[in-house]
Amino acid sequence: MERIEIGTDALSLLPEVVSEPPAVRVSCSPMDATPMRRADGNPKAEAERMLAGPFEVRHAVLGEGRTQLHADEGALAEVESAVAWADCVVTVGSGTVTDICKEARACASPLVVVQTAASVNAFSDNVSVLLKSGTKRTVP
């Protein structure tokens, strides 16, 4: 973990954070379908809007057609496919989405996480909890 921004306006720093190290192709794909509201806006849409100016941004929604997104092999394959082209991956969402992205981007381009839950260890741990063959596994 190289940088942590905390504050009511931390989302506004997203373009600056993504620029360290320089990125051109940014994936905002690793987001689930859960609607989000913050004040009068949607943090997922706001993140994409801020990044769309200085970067090439692509978007896809994880887990569409599922009743609930799980950190399983299917979700991992979705993310790997969606972000393979990116210099940097930005995710706005839950610990589940964060764990999936950490595993998909292991040893690859930077991952920037916009945390949307108050206390989930996925945001600060160097491990992911994934479902492998139906059983939860902790993966470095």
22-31 tens-digit pLDDT? 778 887 656 7
95-125 tens-digit pLDDT? 888 888 888 876 567 889 888 877 677 778 8
* Cα dihedral 25→90→49→26 (10° resolution): 0
Answer whether residue 4 is part of any domain: no
Query: What CA–CA distance (Å, rounded) separates 28 from 4?
Result: 19
Q: What is the pLDDT of residue 108?
A: 67
Query: What CA–CA distance (Å, rounded) separates 60 from 26?
Result: 12
Q: What are 35's two structure tokens?
A: 């609607």
Q: What is the pLDDT of residue 27?
A: 73
Answer whether residue 95 is part of any domain: yes
Query: What CA–CA distance (Å, rounded) separates 140 from 137?
Result: 10
Q: Note whether 34 and 68 are within 8 A (CB).
A: no
Answer whether residue 81 is part of any domain: yes
Q: What is the pLDDT of residue 12?
A: 92
**What CATH number does residue 20 fall under?**
3.40.50.1970
Q: What is the pTM of this model?
A: 0.83
Q: Which amino acid, one-letter code, is at 116?
A: T
Q: What are 129's two structure tokens?
A: 């909890």
Answer whether residue 2 is part of any domain: no
Q: What is the pLDDT of residue 15?
A: 92
Closest among 96, 91, 89 to 72, alpha carbons compared: 96
Q: What is the pLDDT of residue 62?
A: 82
Answer whether residue 3 is part of any domain: no
Answer whether residue 1 is part of any domain: no
Identify the domain containing residue 64 by its residue range: 10-139
Answer whether residue 98 is part of any domain: yes
Query: What CA–CA distance (Å, rounded) separates 128 from 16?
Result: 26
* Domains: count for the chain: 1
Q: Note whether 47 and 113 are within 8 A (CB).
A: no
Q: What is the pLDDT of residue 106?
A: 66
- Reading the chain (140 residues) residue by residue, the pLDDT tens digits are 788 898 888 999 999 999 887 778 887 656 777 778 878 888 888 998 999 888 888 887 887 878 788 888 888 888 888 888 888 889 888 888 888 888 887 656 788 988 887 767 777 888 888 888 888 888 88
Answer whether residue 5 is part of any domain: no
